[in-house]
Chain A
Amino acid sequence: MRLELQKITKQFPGVLANDRISISVDKGQVLGLLGENGAGKTTLMNILSGLYKPDSGKILIDGKERIFRDPAQAIDAGIGMVHQHFMLVPVFDVTESVVLGNEPTKGPLGSFDRATARAQVAELSKRHGLHVDPDAKIESLPVGVRQRVEILKALYRKSDILVLDEPSAVLTPQETEELFEIIRGLARGGTSVIFITHKLNEVIAVADKITVLRRGAVAGETIPKKATAAKLAEMMVGREVQLTVSRSKSKVAEPILQVKGLNVLNDAGGLAVNSATFDVRSGEILAVAGVQGNGQTELVEALTGLRLVDSGTVVLEKKPLHAGSPREIAMAGVAHIPEDRNRDGMVKGMTIAENYILNTYHLPQFNKNGLLNRKAIAAATEQAVKDFDIRTPSISTDIASLSGGNQQKVIVAREFSRNVRLVIAAQPTRGLDVGSIEYIHRRIVEQRDAGAAVLIVSTELDEVLALGDRVAVMYEGRIVGILDAKEATRERVGLLMGGITK
């Protein structure tokens, strides 16, 4: 089927998310939809899947105009979505998850016909080579398999147009390659595929046609043969982009953080970090690579005192920290840029000044006999706003009203406001635009050059390779390898991310 979007426009309060976007994909074609965060990709797909209504513009399928009032109509029209955040019920099993919404039933009460459903799911997964156990509980499945369940969901609904939103975020490079195989197979079978990503290499690898979005509008169209990464990046950002972070050679000195035999449990009680041993030295960046969900989150939480250490030791400049509280650790000289800034990094509903002192309010300069020293707080915040170029009307503005990049700058400013010996930055640039990414990277490298040890955790291989003086790879809770920057090639790190150590 041929899908065509014509001049789709969608306005949100204060943002023009989609500005007359026109894209098309032919039967059996793979369209790579490229754009950085905030370019309007997700909004466009939500319109296509019937979650949002466009303010204007048309959706044509095989030349006929279709209007989707809700997801059910989009599904009926043959559009299948695989969302970036999986839409699965953790307590359901695979069969239930796949058929939900189109369940086979029998009897007057609408009894769920599990046997039929199970057979259908088993047959479907066999036919498309997507191996899953129909009886497995979703919460027990690794993310890669959950993605297969998502694809099965779309296939079960006989989707002719499959939309994948940032599907590789949770996959190793090898798994991504397998996914590409699946995509190519589906395309050969006549399915049209829209592949949304911000990763340049991926569109070049899998797409038949590339459309680039920038700030809610189409910035250009090309085909992989004519495209280079640099050219696509320029199209995506609107200016020339440095694909690597410029930095001097590191002057590595004594180790600052020493981690030995660290075990950490996850929420379900399983071992999330399995005897991790490594150190980070003054003046170096250790970048931890790995597919999301391999224990990095728990590692960072344990190092920063947010999660109990089950066993093992963490030492910061001879000071044991494995039993430290978040405050003790912060005061010992650890700056922590949290993975989920909305959840951990800031308090929405509080002002920029209040967020700036969020973990330093108790220090003598801000705290006079149990009362807040408002003058000192205002002065310090004003200075930080200047130093970090935080764009805000005033320091008493609610932090929720800032852009993601500026929010992250407030967090970074706060964390770097103390005497920093170790920087722990988890996904420091997730969801930011290229300008902010460059800025945050520069600030982190500055800390390294000033003699701090830096631990960066990222699922973006590009970020890891660009920043790391050494690269550690986590797989199923273990550190499966630590490589020097020059040995850390995309292929080697990729294999390690998949748990292949030889």
Chain B
Amino acid sequence: MNKRKPVAAARAKTTTSAPAKRSVSVGDGADAHQQLIASRVRAGLFALFTLLSLAITAGSAGVEGNFAFWVDKVGGTDVAFSVPVVLLWAAVTAGFGAMAALQLVRGASFRWRLAIGLVSPVLVFALLTRLLDGTTANLTVFFTSTLLYTVPVGIGALAGIVSERSGILNISVEGKLLFGAMIGSIASSITGIAIAGPIAGAIFGALVSLFFAWLCIRYRVDQIIAGTVINIGALGVTTFAYLRILQPYSEFNRPIGITPIQIPFLSDIPILGPILFSLSPYFYIAVGFVLFFTYMIYRTRWGLRLRAAGEQPNAAGTVGIDVVKLRYRAMLVAGLLAGFAGSYISLSGTGGFGINTSAGQGFIALAAVIFGAWNPIYAFGAALIFGMTSSATTLLSGLGVLIPPQILLSMPYIVTIIVVAGLIGRVRAPASAGRPYDQG
């Protein structure tokens, strides 16, 4: 029984990333080999990164990275400090070196996802210093914008996780973000009540989500086509409404912004205070949601049934769980979340709603779902990494660093492709996501 071929068997036992169901190659036994190859490729990739960063380390001797932090609160006094760039890059090199070695030794069982999570922040930071090349950068804004970026992407990802765990493939997050942004802005403008914006956005997102679910469940529309319907429709409706109503009657698009809150005492801590404890309430709510849903999905009856419906709906249906109702409810929750996330886009800034204001963040949220292996906390971490790239772009272009912004702006999309392609590892999607369920 245990005389299986050592290579294959060991990997089969230890790996957490079983073949994804969408793979074309499933079923020809090549997956075990692919797992092995994938982990070798990964090791090679990390080794390459090691060499690259070693080269940069060598080239950056003597360059100083200058940073400033706002101490106290926004607009307060600065504290400046500088780090030798060499040191940062030496750290990155060491990190990648260790990853490459561990990956090679441990094979598929190596927790590369976690390792990337640990190394990337240092990497982004080191890249920054190298690109700044002596210019002074203010990091408070960098960190706060990174954290805030996780609001639409992180909550959007959560919406994706809830619906896909229930078995409905949800590419319509982008559309719901747009709807949430517009309705949030209108509701806030009309009522003059700040909190009306997020609430209305969430409710409208839920309605759209239910319509989406209705198409998928009642009419068995292919879930990707239905998602496309929502995305195109959202772009059309919101742009139409913007040009026809919000632009000529701009009183409908002057929302009461949701302003950052200063958490008493904590916000007074130097450096950490402005970065962590003087943020928009959206951020704290997002963190709360992530923790809450992680508990709900993995530790409660609701989560158990949700996962059963997404993996094997027949197994749930035959023990008396109403899978259809469950999926509708999950989509309701997903819609509330996505609409709420959308409202952030129009309410946190000053401009209100604008045409296509979500700008693809809903799709990046989907990438975060995949990168985070359908786990809310991991997905939130992915959103943070994407957020860092995005704020690095802003920071660098603001400082006039000569690097084409288009390339930096493409980074999240390129990273997403790499993630989806599984070049650095496969993840297991809920087995039945995307398939309609027949109930008698």
Tell me if chains A and B make direct contact, with any CB pair below 8 A: yes
CB-defined contacts of B1 to chain A, threshold 8 Å: 476
Are the C-beta atoms of A89 and B308 separated by less than 8 Å?
yes
From A195-203, A260-268, A312-320, A444-452, the one touching the partner chain is: A260-268
Which residue of the partner chain, among B5, B320, B440, contacts A101 with CB atoms under 8 Å? B320
Residue B302, interface by CB 8 Å = yes
Residue B296, interface by CB 8 Å = yes
CB-defined contacts of A70 to chain B, threshold 8 Å: 320, 322
Residue A18, interface by CB 8 Å = no
Q: What's the least CB distance linking A101 to chain B, in Å?
A: 3
From B8-16, B194-202, B220-228, the one touching the partner chain is: B8-16
From B64-72, B229-237, B250-258, B311-319, the one touching the partner chain is: B311-319
Which residue of the partner chain, among B32, B312, B314, contacts A265 with CB atoms under 8 Å? B32
Which residue of the partner chain, among A73, A87, A265, contacts B29 with CB atoms under 8 Å? A265
Residue A75, interface by CB 8 Å = yes
Q: What's the least CB distance linking A108 to chain B, in Å?
A: 10
Are the C-beta atoms of B308 and A268 separated by less than 8 Å?
no
Residue B415, interface by CB 8 Å = no
- Cα separation A414 to B26 with both chains bound (whole Å): 26
Which residue of the partner chain, among A85, A157, A267, A301, contacts B31 with CB atoms under 8 Å? A267
Interface residues in A295-319 by Cβ distance below 8 A to B read 298, 301-302, 306-308, 310
Measured CB to CB, the nearest residue on chain A to B8 is A269
CB-defined contacts of A301 to chain B, threshold 8 Å: 27-29
- Cα separation A476 to B318 with both chains bound (whole Å): 30
- Cα separation A74 to B302 with both chains bound (whole Å): 22
CB-defined contacts of B319 to chain A, threshold 8 Å: 71, 75, 87, 100-102, 153, 157
Measured CB to CB, the nearest residue on chain B to A154 is B319
- Cα separation A91 to B21 with both chains bound (whole Å): 14
- Cα separation A462 to B315 with both chains bound (whole Å): 31
Interface residues in A50-108 by Cβ distance below 8 A to B read 50-53, 70-76, 81, 83, 85, 87-92, 96-97, 100-103, 105
From A109-117, A126-134, A231-239, the one touching the partner chain is: A109-117
Q: What's the least CB distance linking B120 to chain A, in Å?
A: 29
Are the C-beta atoms of A112 and B299 separated by less than 8 Å?
yes
Which residue of the partner chain, among B11, B303, B318, contacts A83 with CB atoms under 8 Å? B318
Which residue of the partner chain, among B28, B32, B301, B321, contacts A269 with CB atoms under 8 Å? B32
- Cα separation A265 to B32 with both chains bound (whole Å): 8
Are the C-beta atoms of B322 and A72 separated by less than 8 Å?
yes
Are the C-beta atoms of B315 and A109 separated by less than 8 Å?
no
CB-defined contacts of A110 to chain B, threshold 8 Å: 300-302
Are the C-beta atoms of B316 and A100 separated by less than 8 Å?
yes
Measured CB to CB, the nearest residue on chain A to B439 is A51
Are the C-beta atoms of A51 and B29 separated by less than 8 Å?
no
Which residue of the partner chain, among B4, B29, B300, B311, contacts A111 with CB atoms under 8 Å? B300
Residue B249, interface by CB 8 Å = no
- Cα separation A112 to B305 with both chains bound (whole Å): 10
Are the C-beta atoms of B312 and A307 separated by less than 8 Å?
no
Q: What's the least CB distance linking B25 to chain A, in Å?
A: 10
Are the C-beta atoms of B300 and A89 separated by less than 8 Å?
no
Known A-B contacts A100-B316, A100-B321, A268-B12; the reply to A91 vs B311 at CB < 8 A is: yes
Contact with B along A399-435 (1 / 0, CB 8 A): 0000000000000000000000000000000000000
How many chain A residues touch the partner (CB < 8 A)?
54
Known A-B contacts A263-B5, A265-B32; the reply to A89 vs B311 at CB < 8 A is: yes
- Cα separation A268 to B19 with both chains bound (whole Å): 8
- Cα separation A308 to B34 with both chains bound (whole Å): 12
Are the C-beta atoms of A100 and B29 separated by less than 8 Å?
no
CB-defined contacts of B401 to chain A, threshold 8 Å: none
Which residue of the partner chain, among B18, B312, B320, contacts A89 with CB atoms under 8 Å? B312
Residue A49, interface by CB 8 Å = yes
Are the C-beta atoms of A111 and B305 separated by less than 8 Å?
no
Are the C-beta atoms of A105 and B300 separated by less than 8 Å?
yes
Measured CB to CB, the nearest residue on chain A to B440 is A51
- Cα separation A301 to B26 with both chains bound (whole Å): 13
CB-defined contacts of A90 to chain B, threshold 8 Å: 311-312, 431
Residue A14, interface by CB 8 Å = no
Q: What's the least CB distance linking B31 to chain A, in Å?
A: 6
- Cα separation A302 to B316 with both chains bound (whole Å): 34
- Cα separation A74 to B316 with both chains bound (whole Å): 14
Are the C-beta atoms of B304 and A96 separated by less than 8 Å?
yes
Residue B295, interface by CB 8 Å = yes
Measured CB to CB, the nearest residue on chain A to B10 is A269
- Cα separation A90 to B19 with both chains bound (whole Å): 14
Are the C-beta atoms of B308 and A100 separated by less than 8 Å?
yes
- Cα separation A153 to B314 with both chains bound (whole Å): 14
- Cα separation A90 to B432 with both chains bound (whole Å): 12
CB-defined contacts of A103 to chain B, threshold 8 Å: 301, 304
Are the C-beta atoms of A46 and B8 separated by less than 8 Å?
no
Q: What's the least CB distance linking B312 to chain A, in Å?
A: 4
- Cα separation A434 to B321 with both chains bound (whole Å): 37
Are the C-beta atoms of B29 and A105 separated by less than 8 Å?
no
- Cα separation A73 to B11 with both chains bound (whole Å): 44
Residue A461, interface by CB 8 Å = no
CB-defined contacts of B28 to chain A, threshold 8 Å: 301, 306-308
Are the C-beta atoms of B320 and A87 separated by less than 8 Å?
no
Q: What's the least CB distance linking A116 to chain B, in Å?
A: 12
Q: What's the least CB distance linking A334 to chain B, in Å?
A: 17
Residue B244, interface by CB 8 Å = no
Residue B35, interface by CB 8 Å = yes
- Cα separation A393 to B307 with both chains bound (whole Å): 45
Known A-B contacts A88-B312, A110-B302, A263-B5; the reply to A307 vs B35 at CB < 8 A is: no
Known A-B contacts A53-B440, A101-B320, A308-B29; the reply to A111 vs B299 at CB < 8 A is: yes
Which residue of the partner chain, among B5, B35, B300, B318, contacts A87 with CB atoms under 8 Å? B318
Are the C-beta atoms of B12 and A269 separated by less than 8 Å?
yes
Q: What's the least CB distance linking B437 to chain A, in Å?
A: 12
CB-defined contacts of A476 to chain B, threshold 8 Å: 1
Which residue of the partner chain, among A105, A267, A268, A271, contacts B5 with CB atoms under 8 Å? A271
Which residue of the partner chain, among B9, B26, B33, contacts A271 with CB atoms under 8 Å? B9
Interface residues in A370-422 by Cβ distance below 8 A to B read none
Residue A13, interface by CB 8 Å = no
Are the C-beta atoms of B320 and A298 separated by less than 8 Å?
no
Q: What's the least CB distance linking B14 to chain A, in Å?
A: 10
Known A-B contacts A89-B311, A111-B299, A270-B4; the reply to A49 vs B318 at CB < 8 A is: yes
Residue A274, interface by CB 8 Å = yes
Interface centre among B33, B314, B319 (most CB of A within 10 A): B319
Q: What's the least CB distance linking A338 to chain B, in Å?
A: 12
Which residue of the partner chain, among A87, A264, A306, A310, contacts B315 with CB atoms under 8 Å? A87
Q: What's the least CB distance linking A342 to chain B, in Å?
A: 15
Known contacts A87-B312, A302-B29, then 7 further A-B pairs from the complex at CB < 8 Å, ordered by chain A residue? A49-B318, A51-B440, A100-B308, A111-B300, A270-B8, A270-B12, A271-B4
Shortest beta-carbon contacts, A-B, top 5: A269-B32, A72-B320, A101-B319, A269-B12, A269-B8
Complex A-B: 10 CB contacts under 8 Å: A88-B312, A91-B307, A105-B300, A109-B295, A111-B299, A264-B29, A268-B31, A272-B29, A306-B28, A307-B28
